[in-house]
Amino acid sequence: MVAGPAVFGRRAGLRQDHRFESRPERLCYGRVVFWILLATFLAYTIWRIFLGYPQPRRAYRIVAPREVAFLEAAGEATFPAGGAIPLSGRDADLPGYADGFLESLPRHLRLQVRAMLMLFEQATIFFPAPGRGGRRRFSSLSEEQRVAVLDGWSRSRLFLRRLAFTALRAVLTMGYLGHPIAMRHLRLAPLDFPSPIVEADLLYPAIGARKDSINWTEADLCESDGTPLDPNGPIHPSFRGDER
Amino acid sequence: MAGAAEATRGEVRVFAEYDRDFEEETDVVVVGSGPCGAVVAHQLAQAGRRVVLLEEGPPFIPSEFELEGSKSMSRTMREGGLRSTRGSILPTMQAIALGGGSLVNSAICVRPPEAVFQRWATGFDLEITNRETLDRHYDEVADFLGIAPTPEEVQGRRNTLFRDGCDALGYGSEPIARNVRNCRGSGECFTGCRNRAKQSMDISYIPAAIRHGARVLTSVQVQEVLREGSRVTGVTGRVAEPFSGRLGHRFTVRAKTVVLAAGCMATPVLLQRSGNLANRSGQVGENLQFHPGVAIAGFFPEPTTPQFGATQGYQSLHFLDEGFKLETLWAPPAVMAVRMPGFGHPLQEIFADFPNMAVWDAIASTHKSLGRVRARRGTLDPALTWHMHPDDVPILKRALFVLTEIYFAAGATKVTPGVNGVPEILYSRDEADVLLNHPIQASDLVCGGNHAFCTTRMHGDPARGVVDEYGRCHDFDNLYIADTGIFPQCPSVNPMFTGMALAHRQAEAILDRT
């Protein structure tokens, strides 16, 4: 059935009234509110993710100030001072470790690890810490709140949350236990011993160098004598100092 | 082998020496310098064939070995050591270095029991892949690499405690046979043997192959297998900068025979990227299997001096029929610590007990848990999916229980099982019952999957497998695959020795046919 002119007229009239009287005001008001809300949201998001972080004590090649703040906060919560090992997470220079670790990763994996750090820093929005201000960024929480947040991740019923926690703690632990002070305290620092010169050493240069940089000759060839190492022997030079 | 004496000495090319695009021509090109590729390259070069061995990674010398776990992994492992499957999340590591996985594995060499080969023969229409025919190849590889049981003087306490626990319970155990000469017990197998005792391929088969005339090109990434009609004609790719992977000059190696030994992950990806080559069966990249492993730590009243001793010095094959093998284990402390429970002071207290710790692990034969390998756009890194079958979870539960039982029998005072939903620390054998009784799911376990198999499996029926029993592709008579991808099923024990024995046999087959 085809609609007659009267019908169109009524409909047109309704549309006209709506357009020129009440709707423009509502639209205008609504748009203003929408843009204000959007701008506020964006400003808050930008501030929350990027701004308000203290300047790191030293320069890093990869990690940003927000990641430094998070790693120090998470390191302190995971390995607090006064524990059984005379090295706290904050003193272990975990940002320095993460900087080197990230630099060694392929780009897509570097992005994934950095995304994980951001997830933990920002996820307090969805998984808040108990107490006042529990939705602040992880690095802005109190010591007790950080511990509670990490505990929530580690004991979550959601497999992916537990998995994310395991991944984060792996990064922190690698940095912490790789520190010379921790390794020496545990008496687990690698030992120092000479490497025998074998046929392969006459073939392969250091990575990045040319073969003409090889200084060994056949006269240098020797092999392991098989004498068991002394666990109390001298430790490797890279674990003798107090910095990684 | 007349060619052996007459061969001109070969050479190694390294990244710094590539200054232009290049082409080479040879009899055989071998892609991948891991245990299987190195054996094939050596045997063929020794017999006088012109061989070019291609490796994407660089050669490492002792001063290049990183002693810290994560740094070492990021330098020697693909994807920085962070590769894992989707589906059931399973971290898995593949090396990128001259010598492949042999540079950073613990040198375990075990021959599977006859039952494994019987299973392969009946399930996959195989006729000559059994212990009887393979023992000669195992023997020749063993002689070359000096494979022998780990001597008592370098076992270290954390290994002998395992033996004590097994003895107390009546479980069989034995020193692990390894491709090692004059081990000093540094426990550094996973970061590279500074003592040059481990006979990894870069210091054993590859230098010997070079002596027989093989040319070894390192830092070259093969991107495609070339074909003309029903034959393959070589490979092509680009020079790859160590660690960054930045691609440079192009190269082509033309060859009468192509051997893909790039590993269970990279070989199927290479075939898929070469126009779905050799895949009439539809099995390329399918059937991915692992030996999922679980490791737990036990703590003893007296020091175990864990940094000393063979990395993996003792094992028990007692439970192979039940689907798992038990081993001792050591790795950089930071790597071992990843499995420890909790955080804060309690975690630091556990770390402080590390000098009294021993870590042992189980690897499981999970035949029902399957996955696949797929090429991804713009990269040779594979997309991996794998699913732990619910029927395979009880194998790992039982293995965890048995390990815990052995710990307490050996005198441990506490054990950290690392299973979600059960107590973080167990203090007695009675408490270990929770590992059997608690309804553990696959996602409650923290597993690793270091051995990978079956993605280009051998099968007597060309419609159901990619290669025949000699590793020759059913679809191309001059294309071979030599890595653990050709295993029809997981072998229930560490795969390197079997891979090398199969590669040794394959080299003889190539010589017979060319």
Tens of pLDDT, residues A29-85:
888 999 999 999 999 888 888 888 999 988 999 999 999 999 999 999 999 999 999
- Of the candidates A109, A177, A205, the beta carbon closest to that of B334 is on A177
B300 and B166 in a single domain? The answer is yes
Nearest partner of B372 among B439, B298, B454, judged by Cα: B454
CATH number of B15's domain? 3.50.50.60
Cα(B104)–Cα(A118) distance, integer angstroms: 32
Rounded to whole angstroms, what are the CA distances from B236 to A75, B421, B467? 47, 51, 22
B175 and B322 in a single domain? The answer is yes
Cα(B475)–Cα(B14) distance, integer angstroms: 34
- Of the candidates A80, A150, A201, the beta carbon closest to that of B345 is on A80
B77: left (phi > 0), else alpha (psi -120 to 50), else beta?
beta
Assess: ipTM above 0.90: yes
B220 and B305 in a single domain? The answer is no
B466 and B433 in a single domain? The answer is no
What is the pLDDT confidence band of residue B405, given thresholds at 50, 70 and 90?
very high
Is it the case that residue B53 has pLDDT exceeding 90?
A: yes
B172 and B300 in a single domain? The answer is yes
Is it the case that residue B334 has pLDDT exceeding 80?
A: yes
B22 and B51 in a single domain? The answer is yes
- Cα nearest neighbour of A203 on chain B: B12
- Of the candidates B153, B333, B343, the beta carbon closest to that of A78 is on B343
B432 and B343 in a single domain? The answer is yes
- 3-class DSSP string for chain A: CCCCHHHHHHHHHHHHHHHHHHHHHHHHHHHHHHHHHHHHHHHHHHHHHHCCCCCCCCCCCCCCHHHHHHHHHHHHHHCCCCCCCCCCCCCCCHHHHHHHHHHHCCHHHHHHHHHHHHHHHHHHHCCCCCCCCCCCCHHHCCHHHHHHHHHHHHCCCCHHHHHHHHHHHHHHHHHHHCCHHHHHHCCCCCECCCCCCCHHHHCCCCCCCCHHHCCCCHHHCCCCCCCCCCCCCCECHHHCCCCC
- Output the pLDDT for position A4: 46
Indicate yes or no: CB of B355 within 8 angstroms of CB of A187.
yes
In contact, A106 and B245? CB cutoff 8 Å: yes
- Output the pLDDT for position A21: 54
A228 CB neighbours in chain B (<8 A) are: 153-154, 184-185, 308
- Output the pLDDT for position B7: 55
In contact, A165 and A150? CB cutoff 8 Å: yes
Nearest partner of B32 among B11, B56, B48, B1, judged by Cα: B56
B377 CB neighbours in chain A (<8 A) are: none
Indicate yes or no: CB of B343 within 8 angstroms of CB of A100.
no
Total tally of structural domains belonging to chain B: 2
Top residue of B9, B61, B72, B89 to mutate, by most chain A CBs within 10 Å, is B61
Q: How many Cβ contacts (< 8 angstroms) between chains A and B?
A: 196
In contact, B55 and B33? CB cutoff 8 Å: yes
Indicate yes or no: CB of B89 within 8 angstroms of CB of A163.
yes
B59 CB neighbours in chain A (<8 A) are: 200, 203-204, 207
Cα(B359)–Cα(B403) distance, integer angstroms: 10
Is it the case that residue B5 has pLDDT exceeding 60?
A: no
Q: Please give the torsion angle defined by the CA atoms of residues B91, B97, B98 and B104, in that order, rounded to the nearest 10 degrees.
A: -50
Pairing outcome for strands B51-54 and B215-217 = parallel
Residue B247: inside a domain, yes or no?
yes
B46 and B20 in a single domain? The answer is yes
The two tokens of residue A7 are 């019908």
- Cα nearest neighbour of A226 on chain B: B182
Is it the case that residue B298 has pLDDT exceeding 70?
A: yes
The two tokens of residue A55 are 């300047």
Indicate yes or no: CB of A186 within 8 angstroms of CB of B306.
no
Range(s) of the domain holding residue B20:
2-61+197-280+456-513
- Nearest-Cα distance to chain A for B296, in Å, is 16
Q: Provide the mean pLDDT of chain B.
A: 95
- Nearest-Cα distance to chain B for A42, in Å, is 33
B399 and B271 in a single domain? The answer is no
B418 and B352 in a single domain? The answer is yes
Q: Provide the mean pLDDT of chain A.
A: 89
CATH number of B417's domain? 3.30.410
B217 and B359 in a single domain? The answer is no
